[in-house]
Amino acid sequence: MRPSRLMLGVAMAGLMASAAHADMTEGGIKIGVLTDMSGTYSDLSGGGSVWSAKKAVEDYLKAKPGLKVEVIAADHQNKADISANTARQWYDVDKVDVIVDLVTSSTALAVNQIAKEKNKVALVSGAASSALTGKDCTANTIHWTYDTWALANGTGSAITKTGGDSWFFLTADYAFGHALEKDTAAVVEKLGGKVMGKVRHPFPAQDFSSFLLQAQASKAKIIGLANAGADTTNAIKQASEFGIVAGGQNLAGLLVFITDVHALGLKTSQGLIFTESWYWDANDTNRAFAKEYAAANGGKYPTMVHAGVYSSVIHYLKAVEDLKSDADGAAVVAKMKAMPTDDKLYGKGTVRADGRKIHDMYLFEVKKPEESKGPWDYYKTRATIPATEAWRPLDAGECPLVKK
């Protein structure tokens, strides 16, 4: 199958590179946004991720003019083979230096290995699998925005501690879903809860009726939705139609985005508890970014994936500027780990030896319709999870880069 070639980017710098900068980056920096442009995850990533990468370049060049940076994009269609083929084409032929976003864990894991093979860089914002900083970690990849361990630690522990101590998992049947189910089940059982059963559904899926009936029959207090995007929203809608919540069981959206809440509406999604790393209405800086994003993206508001793409590109550019070279991908990633992170959306943070970007996480609850004061005003904060507690301990991930 030939990779889809939806090339959306153009050169971002208004000024041509100076001779010094041209030598520094071998003619300029090329960023490839590899994402879902048309499928299940297109709203939470997609064209918004392309815009966010371009915005990061635009903002960086205001302070550091004279650097030539190009942003291109392609649709991986949530398929690992298309993702891998595109990555090889970009790295080998098109001279792409760094690939960003990579929503869907299977696509991210594929590019993770190719970036290592080609000594390029991969910055993962959209995918969730904690294997990227575990057994599959490499010196060429950074996992930026969130992961399955952090989601499980935040949402799974909060719900179990407040009485939701029996679970049934409805899981997307690929790497992300498996990892999210595994990590959440481990938290539930550690806290004394029980896993009553699990069922895996095709990705993507439209009809969840048979899976929901199994969950209903389990009598578990909590039905954990180890999926995302349209799979999550479809499952929640059909669970409502089946009267599952009215029957005494509760749904736990283990990965929920603001675009999901918008699609469901507050009447259906009110009360959902979930973990995220960024919210547009948290402060004035985020609100300004969201306003500009919405103006350029048909009124839609940004997700944490879009914010993560912006943040990761900013830090990448800082590292390349400091190194005065983008030729050695592992060296660039090492510099990104050595430098503290600091950008307007995620603030100050660090990147660990295993490639895990470290920042606070947040436990949110969806507002009731009467609590919302305007468009996209959907969340209230239940808790801030400090960076020191939000992420899997460094020595627990089996990353070969971590010294014993």
pLDDT digits (tens, 9 = 90+) for 322-336: 999 999 999 999 999
Checking if the pLDDT of 6 tops 50, the result is no
CB-based contact 229:206 (threshold 8 Å): no
Distance of alpha carbon 350 from alpha carbon 355, whole angstroms: 10
Q: What is the pLDDT of residue 64?
A: 85
The H-or-E segment that residue 184 falls in is helix 175-190
Q: Is the predicted pLDDT of residue 391 greater than 90, yes or no?
A: yes
Q: Report residue 384's pLDDT band, with 50, 70 and 90 as the boundaries.
A: very high
pLDDT for 246 equals 83
* CB contact at 8 A, 350 and 359: no
Token pair recorded at residue 96:
């792409």
* Cα first-last separation, the chain: 42
143-167 pLDDT, tens per residue? 999 999 999 999 999 999 999 999 9
pLDDT at 12: 36
Alpha-helix residue ranges (DSSP H) falling in 64-104: 80-92
Flag whether pLDDT at 49 surpasses 70.
yes
List pLDDT tens digits, range 364-379: 999 999 999 999 999 9
Higher pLDDT, 89 or 5: 89
Query: What pLDDT band is residue 84 in, cutting at 50, 70 and 90?
Result: very high
Residues 164-189: tens digit of each pLDDT:
999 999 999 998 999 999 999 999 99
What's residue 143's pLDDT? 98
| Structure token digits, residue 91 | 């790295």
User: In which band, very low, low, confident or very high, does the pLDDT at 271 lie, cut at 50, 70 and 90?
Assistant: confident
DSSP 254: S
* Chain centroid to CA 329: 22
Q: With 90 as the cut, is the pLDDT of residue 120 above it?
A: yes
Burial class (CB in 10 A: 0-12, 13-18, 19+), 338: exposed
Instruction: Calculate the CA dihedral of residues 54, 57, 63, 69 and round it to 10 degrees.
Output: -130
Which domains, and CATH codes, for the chain? 19-146+283-359 (3.40.50.2300), 149-276+360-390 (3.40.50.2300)
- How crowded is the C-beta side of 286, counted as CA atoms within 13 Å? 17
pLDDT at 137 over 60: yes
When pLDDT is averaged across residues 270-274 and rounded to a whole number, the result is 89
3: confidence class by pLDDT, cuts 50, 70, 90? very low
Closest CA relative to residue 301, chosen from 34, 51, 134: 51
Residue 25 has pLDDT above 70, yes or no: no
Token digits of residue 117: 């093979």
Q: Six-digit token pair at 215?
A: 């969950």
The answer, yes or no, to whether residue 8 has pLDDT greater than 50, is no
The per-residue pLDDT for range 192-247, each reduced to its tens digit, is 999 999 999 999 999 999 999 999 999 999 999 999 999 999 999 999 888 988 88
Please report, rounded to a whole number, the percentage of residues in the chain having pLDDT higher than 70. 93
Query: Over the range 242-281, which residues count as b (16 or more CB within 10 Å of their CB) and which as e?
Result: bebeeeebbbbbbbbbbbbbbbbebebbbebbbbbbbbbb
User: What pLDDT is recorded for position 114?
Assistant: 98
